[in-house]
Amino acid sequence: MSKTRSNYFPQACKVIPGGVNSPVRAWKSVGGRPVFVSHAKGSKIFDVSGKEYIDYVLSWGPLILGHAHSKVTADVCNKAKKGTSFGAPTPAETQMAKLISEAIPSMELIRMTSSGTEATMTAIRLARGFTGRDMIAKFDGCYHGHSDSLLIKAGSGVATFGIPGSPGIPADLARLTLSLPYNDIDTLQKAIETYGSRLAAIIVEPVAGNMGVVPPRNGFLDKLRKLTAQYSIVLIFDEVITGFRFTFGGYQNLTEVKPDLTCLGKIIGGGLPVGAIGGRKEIMEKLAPTGDIYQAGTLSGNPLAMSAGLTTLNILKTKKNSFLKLDEKTNRLCKEMQDLFSAKGIAVCINCVYSMFTIFFQTGPVYDLDTAQKSDTMMFARFFHGMLKNGIWLAPSQFEAGFLSFAHTQKDIDKTIDSCSKTLRNL
Ligand SMILES: *Cc1c(COP(=O)(O)O)cnc(C)c1O
């Protein structure tokens, strides 16, 4: 390790809390000093010492076309020369809303934001304003950004009023958020029978990606839709990760279940800061200036973000049939890693959903937060560092999703399997 490389983190820590601008980047759960990045291209990311890694984080999901896609970067550069922000409407924002609405028809009207957090925060305010109710419900282990009402932990017990997920969140506010176990239809039913008429919204990741990857059980989302409709509760799908990850559209395009509101982010920004909220017209029209529920943003609909997002989505539209290949590649990677672990006698449960995966270090099955937390995080940390040494860039936490991009080649997969085999020799 060169002297300069080892110096970056201590220097960062002097001027940035913990040296990072988003906590998971500090590697607290795997130990060691975070590697600082110099640049990236396609499926590869390079650290400041020049070492190359195959990247399965992809900026935590957005880069489905890989890093620095030539057309995306060219379009952003050209746009930048013409001005980077106007604080006035541009045609690109209408194009973006049209494209999203065509791909995800339940999003009849769309408002752009600068982050997923803003989108989910707005969805909650909108649902509260629309229904005139204050309580909301979410599911343990689902992450919806860091706004106060959503950064809520489960208390002990099966269905509890939330407790603040962080100091600084008033307990009185946390008490308005009901926290339910993911994939548990019976608890959901009982909770709605008890509190249904007081709930403004229920928000869910239709495929959970923030406790590691956890798919919805058969019937779970269906039941959720039926019960929320019955009690006039606004159903919010947080598709910030899943939007345009599995198909040209949301996870909702692959099921019969349609939410009232949908939040997007990540992929639709093509690597620039973006979020979006959209849904039923009668609800969305309550937003200012048509309605009186306030929401705003100096850089919302930013021309560079619209450019990166539109180019990314337009490319994805031409790849409609290639999503299957991406899934197959992910499947092969997971299956071959599973075989290596089995041969070595190490228990893992690999949840693989389309082009997302998590290797849980335990026998499984993993279907909610409680089961995810049974994982051996020490073993994960050793695996993470081994893979890193062997040129594979994984998320520095057991409870995160791995992602593939269209830039990942069969050769990348072969190299990853080889690195996995090497890593397991010393685990
Ligand atoms: C990343 C994420 C968010 C928050 O998006 P930011 O752009 O980081 O604010 C919200 N919901 C889900 C499901 C996410 O994965």
333 and 272 in a single domain? The answer is no
Of the candidates 318, 335, 352, which is a domain's last residue? 318
Cα–Cα distance, 178 to 140 (Å, whole number): 10
What residues are paired with 55 via a beta bridge? 393
241 and 142 in a single domain? The answer is yes
- Note if the pTM is more than 0.75: yes
Ligand 1 neighbours (beta carbon < 6 A): 115-117, 120, 143-145, 205, 209-210, 238, 240-241, 265, 275
Of the candidates 271, 286, 318, which is a domain's last residue? 318
Gap from CA of 34 to ligand 1 centroid (Å): 21
13 and 84 in a single domain? The answer is no
342 and 419 in a single domain? The answer is yes
47 and 91 in a single domain? The answer is no
327 and 299 in a single domain? The answer is no
Return the ligand 1 atom nearest residue 239 CA.
13
Nearest to 137 by CA among 186, 177, 169, 175: 177
Which domain CATH number covers 115?
3.40.640.10
129 and 229 in a single domain? The answer is yes
| Tens of pLDDT, residues 216-254 | 999 999 999 999 999 999 999 999 999 999 999 999 999
| Tens of pLDDT, residues 277-326 | 999 999 999 999 999 999 999 999 999 999 999 999 999 999 988 999 99
The pLDDT assigned to 292 comes to: 97
Number of domains in the chain: 2
What is the average pLDDT score of the chain? 96
Closest C-alpha residue for ligand 1 atom 8: 116
Which domain CATH number covers 415?
3.90.1150.10
Gap from CA of 336 to ligand 1 centroid (Å): 30
Segments of the chain with pLDDT less than 50: 1
Q: Which of 57, 58, 113, 143 is the pocket-test mutation for ligand 1 (most atoms within 8 Å of CB)?
A: 143
Tell me the residue range of the domain where 190 lies.
Answer: 70-318
54 and 93 in a single domain? The answer is no
The pLDDT assigned to 161 comes to: 81
The pLDDT assigned to 219 comes to: 97
146 and 18 in a single domain? The answer is no
Cα–Cα distance, 312 to 76 (Å, whole number): 11
309 and 187 in a single domain? The answer is yes
Cis check: omega of the bond before 164, within 30 degrees of 0: no
33 and 104 in a single domain? The answer is no
Cα–Cα distance, 109 to 4 (Å, whole number): 49
57 and 151 in a single domain? The answer is no
Q: Which of 113, 114, 120 is the pocket-test mutation for ligand 1 (most atoms within 8 Å of CB)?
A: 120
Gap from CA of 78 to ligand 1 centroid (Å): 28
Of the candidates 301, 318, 335, which is a domain's last residue? 318
